[in-house]
Every structure is written in structure tokens, then in C-alpha cells.
Amino acid sequence: MDAVAKAKHIHQSARKVRQVLDEVRGKQVENAINKLHFTPKKAAKIIEKTLRSAVANAINREGSEVDADKLFVKEAFCDEGPTMRRFRPRAMGRATIIRKRTSHLTIVVAEKE
């Protein structure tokens, strides 16, 4: 049985989050959490928190007995969220747009058979 956890409106671009996600996709949960814990990127902390939530969702689901040691990261993807637009003054009275990108993170864990 699959368990899902989502983190929305992360204040980091989806491209930066995907760099870290590629490291844990398909791995055992214990190995993935260990790798994330020692990865020196902002996204790693957010992904680790979401992964722990997905594991808790799998364990605490009603009517299912899941062994936490057999869980693996089945799916992990990051989509773009809404972009905040800010303006910065430039030369000769012009303005440049600054895009503050956000992202939505989804992690699915399943039990290995």
C-alpha cells in the first residue's frame, strides 16, 4: 500500500529541489534519510521532513500493518508552485522583474515485496 506526503509552497525553485530528489528516488527509506541528513543543501532538510511524514503516514494508516524497514521511495517529484513577482529599480527609470519561485514536493513510499 502506498503512502503519500506533500509539501507545498516551498520557497525554493523546483530545479534546485529536483537535484536533491534525484539522489533518493528508488532507495530504501533508511538509506534515503541518512543521505539527506548529511547533504548540505536547503532542499535536503525539506525533503527529509516530507519523507519522514510519508513514512509516518504509511505506519499509522488504519487497517494496514507496514514494516518500516521494508519501505522504499516509490515516487518523488517536484512541480513548480506559484511565482511571486517583485520589482527592482534599474537605470533610466526602468524596472526589472525578480521572480521568487516556489515549488510543490510529493513523495510516495511503498513496501517492498
For the chain, give the percent of residues with pLDDT over 90: 85
Is the model more confident about 61 or about 107?
107
Confidence (pTM): 0.89
Query: Could you tell me the fold of the domain covering 3-111?
Result: Ribosomal Protein L22; Chain A (3.90.470)
How does DSSP assign 16-63, residue by residue? HHHHHHHHHTTSBHHHHHHHHHT--SHHHHHHHHHHHHHHHHHHH-TT
Residues 64, 3 contacting (CB under 8 angstroms): no
Domain definitions of the chain by residue range: 3-111
What is the per-residue pLDDT across 56-93, written as a single tens digit (0 to 9) for each? 999 888 777 788 888 999 999 999 999 999 999 999 99
Strand 103-111 versus strand 95-100 pairing type: unpaired
- Mean pLDDT of all residues in the chain? 93
